[in-house]
Amino acid sequence: MNDLEAAIFPFDVILFDVGGVLLTNGWDHCERAVVLDQFGLDRESFEARHAKPNDAWERGVISAKEYLQATVFYKPRDFSKEDFLAAMYAQSEMLKDGAMSILKELAASDRYRLGVLNNEARETNEYRFKTFKIRDFIQVSLSSCYLGLRKPEPAIYRRALDILGRPAERVLFIDDRAENAAAASDAGMKSIVFTDNSTLRRELAGLEVL
């Protein structure tokens, strides 16, 4: 797409969140509850240990094995880290009524630079990208584990804009969490709070994206 073609479209870049927009959440409280029950672990005890190492894991500071050591394997278990991690991966599915078809449609149009701006730990992020072939449809991945920052911190949006090299008003961001979308708007981006496929299609049509 040349500069003249780009000028006729409302945005240069469209960024999608992943969990809750394209796929199910990777390791949110619902997914954690399923896996903890599967392995017979106490939810309250786990959640008390989860927040701090999860923050470090999603920032790319520690590995999955270090996260699991802090939250699950601080004492002997009758299952392995590999078993537990596989159960975590299994929670990832295509989101029903999600935006994957829209991402594919936009990719096929070749009108926009497409990417993701998501909070995700490296191992689960790469598993999800590979399993659901997300990299086939995007040009840039602005994941927390690569940037060392998490939404809705203002710095992650500034870093994203620095990397993209485009004016904030030329970037559209789609996220299912209002606080993340609001922070993108504060950074000057246009943002949409995702609810379902058909609503997003109407909103994008209204913006003359689709």
Q: Which domain holds residue 50?
A: 29-89
Same domain, 114 and 195: yes
Residues 109 and 193 in one domain: yes
| 3 confidence band (pLDDT: 50, 70, 90) | low
Same domain? For 100 and 201 the reply is yes
Q: What is the CATH number of the domain that holds 103?
A: 3.40.50.1000
Residue 196 has pLDDT above 60, yes or no: yes
The answer to whether residues 73 and 150 belong to one domain is no
Query: What's the confidence (pLDDT) of residue 6?
Result: 52
For the CA atoms of the chain, what is the radius of gyration? 18
Indicate whether 84 and 101 sit together in one domain: no
Residues 115 and 75 in one domain: no
Same domain, 10 and 100: yes
Give the residue from 70, 89, 108 where a domain finishes.
89
Return the CATH number at 58.
1.10.150.240
User: Among 47, 62, 89, where does a domain finish?
Assistant: 89
For residues 17 and 71, membership in a common domain is answered with no
Same structural domain, 53 and 12: no
Single residue among 61, 89, 117 that ends a domain in this structure: 89
Residues 41 and 67 grouped into a single domain = yes
Provide the pLDDT confidence category of residue 25 given band limits of 50, 70 and 90.
very high
Q: Are the C-beta atoms of 20 and 176 separated by less than 8 Å?
A: yes
Axis-axis angle for helices 81-89, 122-131 (nearest 10)? 50
80 and 113 share one domain: no
pLDDT at 4 over 60: no
Let me know whether 99 and 137 are in one domain.
yes
Domain count, the chain: 2
pLDDT digits (tens, 9 = 90+) for 108-148: 999 999 999 999 999 999 999 999 999 999 999 999 999 99
